[in-house]
Structure 1
Amino acid sequence: MTETGALTSANTISVAEAYLSLLHDRGIDFLYVGAGTDTAPVIEAYSRAEEAGLRFPAPILAVHENLAVGMAHGYTMLTGRPQAVMLHVTVGAANAVCAIMNAARAQIPVLFTAGRTPLLEEGRLGARSHEVHWAQEMYDQGGMLRELVKWDYELRDGTNVEQIIDRALGISMTEPRGPVYLTLPREVLAQEKKGCRLRGSYLAATSPHPAPHAVTAVARALIEAKMPVFVCTNTGANPATVALLQEIANRFGIGVAENKPRYMCFPSDHPLHLGFDMASVFREADALVFLDCDVPWIPALFQPNEDTFIAQVGPDPLFGNYPVRSFRSDVAITASSQSFLEALIPALAEAGGEPRQSVRHAAAASQSRHMRQAVALREQGDRAKGGPITKLFLSRCLQEVKSEDAIIVNEYPAMREQMAFNQPGTFFQLPSSGGLGWGMPAALGVQQAAPDKVVIAVLGDGAYLFANPAACHQAADMLRLPLLTVIFNNESWDAVQKAAQGMYANGHADQQLKKRGHAPISSLKPLPDFEKYVEASGGYGERVTERDQLIPALLRALHAVRHEKRQALLNVMGV
């Protein structure tokens, strides 16, 4: 929203009403609210809205802060449109720090707001009226989030609320996108404000475009290479990049790999899809272009060959808000992936990239076939071994039952190599920050944005607990969101155990894991019957313990969400 629209006005009488009118006018669909004493002016505004003919974002009551921010994250992740959150002063904002870090690292624009403890002890409408108004105040409320947001400010007077909202949204939507933080004192929201201007727009800066000489250098390196590869992590956040990568692969024979992808970046069935095993890709590649990859590889595990050409591309290709990040590169290009790929296509053609397309295509297609054969062998080995349900088996079963347009929101268990995604916007993965409890709230936001689609949240048992599941199931019931939640329940922190094993090979933790089945500080036993959580909120729940039970259980759960239009949960016991 960057063009100036026709000016109209809203018949407001308070800053709260003006604030909400401006949000709606600027394209905000929902205000996710964790209510408190500071939301009194907002409640009064919503109560008068119909009578006054005012249009506000639809209010979504969230009974936990992680739920509020996670739903906004999920809705924006699918639609590309930023949403607004309002939480309760310092304590609410503090509860949301993990969710804001996820949004920041995923470059998700969110207008994050929190009330502020009333400024005054008496003398004005909205002044302090409760004991907590002294204890909840901090010297620097914004400080707890300042490192994670692009901008923070306090609305000090209602006179310039329009300018402040437009600046907040413009900064949030300027690449690299991310959350912004605005604190809202109760007295300011309660101030009188007769009327506000509506124009349906705010100013965000245009996307960064690549330097022509850098694009030319990358194009030449790619066509001179025997095995050039694009590596994607977050490009699928912009669905337009999927078609551009397909055009480049088809016209110039360049393969595409997905490195811990958090979106669907490239069609699984494309013959030049090189998979997800970066060690295998790096062994063969002699030119690598990393698109929107914050961690292109892990130096302690494996690295590209020393003579491999490397380019890093993104709106902030050096990820300047990461304190330490030193991956080598021959060129770093500041550009959105879309603008870079659009510039690269004619540069590849001009540099003579099409005549030898068949040679590069053959090399990449051979690598792709080897990758698919290895994936098939792993699946066959798992099937032959049998026994308890594994993540691989769960992933294959999900692939078998999901429709082509179903949306998977994954917080750990689903294995991308065992699943196929060919439509943009059908897969989302936990951000690299790894703040647990993201998956289920984000999936609820996705379901809200795509009410006619099947949305499946695939979670580990720990991730489910961190999501404050009672709050999530209550929201799904209240908002009539028929989400399917599939929990892979191995009754342990699997990632914690593997970290200890990886750091101390054959160490005491590894020996204890082999002897007892779990290492210290990793067993979650005893866990509750998760399937009963969803039943308490009117949903369908089922526990699955055997392999032959899984497909029938998934079909029953899908029937509940598709036809009964109610939420469902499968508690899948595995190893």
Structure 2
Amino acid sequence: MTSGRPRPAHLEIPLDLIDAVDKVNEVAPVLVAHPPADAVTIAAAAGRLNTATRPGLIIGGGARGAAEEITALAERLGAPVVATANGKGTFSEHHQLSIGAGLHHKAVAEFVAECDVVLAIGTELASTDLWNGPLKFPGDLIRIDVDPAQMITNALPDYCLVGDAQATVTALNQRLGKAHASQEAAKRAQRWQKLFRKHARTQGAAWLPLVEAMKEVLAPGAVIAGDSAMACYYGTLSNLPLEGPASFLYPTGFGTLGYGLPAAIGAKMGAPDRQVVALHGDGGVMFTLPELATAAQERLPLPVIICDNGGYGEIRREMVDRSEPVHGVNLPGVDFAMVAKGLNCHGLTVDDEDRFAMALRKAFTADRPTVLHVVGELAGA
């Protein structure tokens, strides 16, 4: 489960052993090695990075364990950094070298095309992140991935560094030369930041008031558990800066509706001292809405934001774009504040930025979860 590419493992216990009794001894935890890529390949990649004049970094979910090392690497190279949805926050989005999170923006494709070397760490470079087709790498591509099969998926690298991200980036840092001029690197990053933010704000315009209100309240280290909702992938992904690995929990790839609330419950119980927010659409939250009872039972001060646009807005929009009959995507008005109270949570309906920010701030210190039913233009409706 913890070796190679970390993932869940299935353990099956035969029925006749479930109630078996025997004397057993405690077993010491198995220590799993997380080695770097081989030294020869690291040396070759470091040599190429040392000669780069326009380097760039792409970081994904597999880079989460190497946050400090990647920050040191980016600063040493003077390389702007763009993150996938799963890599969001691993490199602080408040850092002057951060371009932003979200590979699907036109600015990212243009940035990659401008780089003479791109270092991709722990990312599949998959269509679920890119949306608009694969990235093209006119310069050299260096990939770091713990999974050998993933190394050649979606893009063929010029340098294959198969190994643990933290160990491999540490080894790279040890072989790289002096840091590049920070002022020059910052200017280059700033140019791409502006273009990226322009695209992000245009795409997420309907949710910017909500995002701006969240910015006022969220503290450094806050965790957003987002559902597969327009408010998340158009709104917060690229427009709400976060810092810290796993600060943006999102069902990348599967588009799992209902993911946000149970993910937020787990995050809050695992990190009780951090602000945790569940962010949903009104359609997606219907898949796991009863989990409010679990959060209430645990007395979690958890804000659950539900952006109500009257149903499954993304599917409805696609039907309209294809001139198809719109059917099966509109939900009758649900009083989510009332549902919340019925499940022993606080509940409030808001349609105003100031009132929303005030309610969100209060929800972090409440004695139980608070459902914020966001309606009207604030919900992107």
User: TM-score, normalized by length of structure 1?
Assistant: 0.58
- Distance in structure 1 (CA, Å) of the matches to 2:322 and 2:201: 29
Q: Deviations over 1:107-135 (max 9, x none)?
A: xxxxxxxxxxxxxxxxxxxxxxxxxxxxx
Residue 419 of structure 1 corresponds to: 240
> 1:255 deviation in Å?
2.1
CA displacement at 1:234 relative to structure 2: 0.8
Residue number in structure 1 paired with 2:67: 242
Please tell me whether the aligned partners of residues 200 and 238 of structure 2 are also in contact (alpha carbons under 8 angstroms).
no
Asked if residue 190 in structure 1 is aligned to residue 19 in structure 2, the reply is yes
Aligned to 1:216: 43
Of residues 211, 229, 253, the one that matches 1:395 is 211
- Which amino acid is 1:293 matched to? T
- Aligned pairs, how many? 365
For residues 403 and 553 of structure 1, the distance between their equivalents in structure 2, rounded to whole angstroms, comes to: 16
> Greater shift after overlay, 452-461 or 184-193?
184-193
| Match of residue 572 from structure 1 | 374
Code of the aligned partner of 1:285? C
* Secondary structure at the counterpart of residue 211 of structure 2: helix
Q: Distance in 1 between matches of 2:133 and 2:252?
A: 21
- CA gap of 1:223–1:209, structure 2 versus 1, over 3 A, is same
Paired residue type of 1:289: L
2:122 to 292, 301, 322: 292
Question: Matched residues in 1 for 2:183 and 2:117: separation?
Answer: 16
1:436 correspondence with 2:261: no
Whole-angstrom CA distance in 2 between matches of 1:532 and 1:292 = 43
Contact 1:229 1:287 in 2 (8 A): yes
Aligned AA (2:348): E
Aligned in 2, Cα 1:541/1:512: closer, same or farther, shift over 3 Å?
Answer: farther
Q: CA deviation at 1:204?
A: 4.2
CA deviation after TM superposition for structure 1 residue 456, in Å: 0.4
Which of the residues 473, 481, 487 maps onto 2:292? 473
* Aligned mates of 1:226, 1:418 — CA distance in 2: 29
Match of 2:145 among 281, 298, 314: 314
User: Any gaps of 5 or more consecutive residues in structure 1?
Assistant: 1-171, 384-388, 502-508, 514-518
Name the SS of the counterpart of 2:56 in structure 1: strand
2:342 to 525, 536, 542: 536
Residue 556 of structure 1 pairs with residue 359 of structure 2 = yes
Alignment of 1:18-417 (within 5 A): 172-193=1-22, 195-199=23-27, 201-238=28-65, 241-276=66-101, 277=105, 278-295=108-125, 298=130, 301=133, 303-305=135-137, 307-319=138-150, 325-349=153-177, 353-354=178-179, 357-358=180-181, 361-362=182-183, 364-374=185-195, 390-411=206-227, 412=229, 413-414=231-232, 415-417=236-238
Residues 429-481 of structure 1 deviation map (CA, whole Å, 9 limit, x = unaligned) = 22333222222111101111122332101122232122x211x1111112222
CA contact (8 A) 2:37 2:161 kept: yes
**One-letter code aligned to 2:133:** L
Considering only CA atoms, is the larger Rg found in Structure 1 or Structure 2?
Answer: 1
Q: Is the 8 A contact 2:113 2:139 kept in 1?
A: no
Counterpart of 2:302? 483
**Kept after mapping to 1: 8 A contact 2:201/2:208:** no
Q: RMSD over aligned Cα, in angstroms? A: 2.9
* Alpha-carbon displacement from aligned partner over 1:256-292 (angstroms, at most 9, x marks no partner): 1112334421011211112234223213212111111
- TM-score (norm. length: structure 2): 0.85
Percent of matched pairs sharing the same residue: 20
Q: Classify 1:495/1:208 alpha carbon distance in 2 versus 1 (closer, same or farther; 3 Å).
A: farther
Q: What is the SS of the residue equivalent to 1:346?
A: helix
Cα offset, 1:363, TM superposition: 5.3
* Distance (whole Å) between structure 2 residues aligned to residue 225 and residue 497 of structure 1: 46
Task: Give the conservation status (yes or no) of the 8 Å contact 1:318–1:325.
Answer: yes
Output the CA distance in 2 between the equivalents of 1:462 and 1:299: 22
Letter aligned with residue 172 of structure 2: L
1:164 match = none
Query: Aligned to 2:330, which of 524, 530, 552?
Result: 524
Alpha carbons of structure 1 residues 496 and 318: separation in structure 2 relative to 1, 3 Å? farther
Question: For residue 141 of structure 2, what is the amino acid of its counterpart?
Answer: I
In structure 2, runs of 5+ residues without a counterpart are none
Q: 1:398-431, CA deviations, whole angstroms, 9 ceiling, x for partnerless residues?
A: 1121112322112242323322223444332223
